[in-house]
Amino acid sequence: MLRKPFISFIEILPHTVASTVLLVYDWMLMFPAELEVVWSAKLRPLNVIYIIQRYLPFVDTIGVLYVVVFAKPIDPDTCRTLYDMSGWMYIIGIALTEVILTMRTWALWGQNIKLTIGLPIFFLCCWVPNFYIMQRFLDTQTYMASPFPNQVGCVILGGQPVLFLCWIILMIYEAGITYYIYLFVLSIVNVVVILSLSHDLENLFSPPQRVIQTLLTSRAILHMRSQSRKQSQLSSTAIASRSLEIHVTQEQLISGMQDEELEELELLPLRGQTKYNTSEYDCISNSPKGESDDEKIESRTTRQIVQTIEERL
């Protein structure tokens, strides 16, 4: 009776360790980009949500792994408390990743008013049942002290098999969004694992799903922010380059003019001294009333230079 849950826990443990290693490895790879586009940006709600969902797995995956596996011995009541905390951090973390991906979809659709109303309603319809199912699942879990306290802190005996409903609801929520095909497939795998294996193995694929959900969401946001920053930099460079090109062309045209042309250009603002006043503009300079003569001359000269440049290009 004591052998099976212990063996089941040993079978689950490698998946949890592998998920932890993947989490740390991805964080090391993506931290420079994260530092540039998230930590250096202004503190906004989306940034706060990103940071929470990004670093919560370090608590619920690494922290619980350490406490349950390495902190020994643990009585069943303490084990329940730790797993309850882990379960709620799991579902809250995944819900936050879905909030970010939903906001991203909303932004890509131009903040459409229908999505502004529909997405929050759809989110609540999916996630309120998810929280209820998680509470029911955790309430039915049973634990026992480890038969080998020097190796494993405590062992989960299992509970009511309702956890698969959480992943089915998540599949429904993610359906129809092309980018989230990987998350959709992961949810399918998790449902198959829970329904196919015994109750004591129903958490076999939960740690990988939890970590990969966060990794894919974080990478999506970092990629979007990086591309947005690159586009902004390219636009600024293009504007600066165009301004420099016009300035250089203007200088070349002026320097290439003959003395007679320069004299003609300088005399342009002084010709036609008769003013035809209107309610808003002086017709001779095509500039608003109230400008000084120097300002009118400068404005007229600038327009004439631009017109000359356009004619010669």
3-state class of 202 per DSSP? coil
Task: Decide which of 128 and 163 is more confident.
Answer: 128
Residue 301 has pLDDT above 70, yes or no: no
**What was the pLDDT predicted at 280?**
41
**What was the pLDDT predicted at 299?**
57
User: If you average pLDDT over residues 109-134, what whole number do you get?
Assistant: 85
Task: Decide which of 74 and 259 is more confident.
Answer: 74
Cβ neighbors of 238 (< 8 A, separation 6 or more) are: none
Can you tell me the distance from the alpha carbon of 162 to that of 187, in angstroms, rounded to the nearest whole number? Answer: 14
3-state class of 155 per DSSP? strand
Least confident of 41-45, 192-196, 264-268: 264-268
Cis ω for the linkage preceding 269 (within 30 of 0): no
DSSP string over 54-91: HHHHIIIIIIHHHHHHHS----HHHHHHHHHHHHHHHH
Residue in the structure block whose two tokens are 């342009």: 268
Question: What phi and psi values does residue 277 have, to the nearest 5 degrees?
Answer: -75, 140
- Please report, rounded to a whole number, the percentage of residues in the chain having pLDDT higher than 90: 0
Least confident of 69-73, 84-88, 282-286: 282-286
When the pLDDT of each residue in the chain is averaged and rounded to a whole number, the result is: 68
Task: Decide which of 30 and 298 is more confident.
Answer: 30
Residue 311 has pLDDT above 70, yes or no: no
In this prediction the pTM is 0.57
Residue 169 has pLDDT above 80, yes or no: no
Least confident of 113-122, 136-145, 275-284: 275-284
Can you tell me the distance from the alpha carbon of 107 to that of 96, in angstroms, rounded to the nearest whole number? Answer: 17
Question: How many Cα neighbours within 13 Å face the side chain of 160?
Answer: 10
| pLDDT 10s digits, 18-34 | 888 888 888 998 898 88
User: If you average pLDDT over residues 226-235, what whole number do you get?
Assistant: 62
Q: How confident is the model at residue 294 (pLDDT cuts 50, 70, 90)?
A: low
3-state class of 143 per DSSP? strand
User: If you average pLDDT over residues 46-57, what whole number do you get?
Assistant: 89
**What was the pLDDT predicted at 232?**
60
Residue 36 has pLDDT above 60, yes or no: yes
**What was the pLDDT predicted at 214?**
79
**What was the pLDDT predicted at 115?**
83
**What was the pLDDT predicted at 256?**
52
Residue 298 has pLDDT above 80, yes or no: no
**What was the pLDDT predicted at 58?**
87
Residue 162 has pLDDT above 50, yes or no: yes
Residue 283 has pLDDT above 50, yes or no: no
List for the chain the helix, strand, coil content (%; round to 5).
Answer: 75, 5, 20
**What was the pLDDT predicted at 104?**
78
Residue 96 has pLDDT above 80, yes or no: yes
In this structure, the number of other CB atoms found within 10 A of the CB of residue 56 comes to 19
Question: What phi and psi values does residue 109 have, to the nearest 5 degrees?
Answer: -90, 20
57, 211 Cβ separation under 8 angstroms: yes
- Among residues 88, 122, 119, the alpha carbon closest in space to that of 106 is found at 119
| pLDDT 10s digits, 188-219 | 776 776 667 666 566 666 677 777 777 777 77
Task: Decide which of 253 and 14 is more confident.
Answer: 14
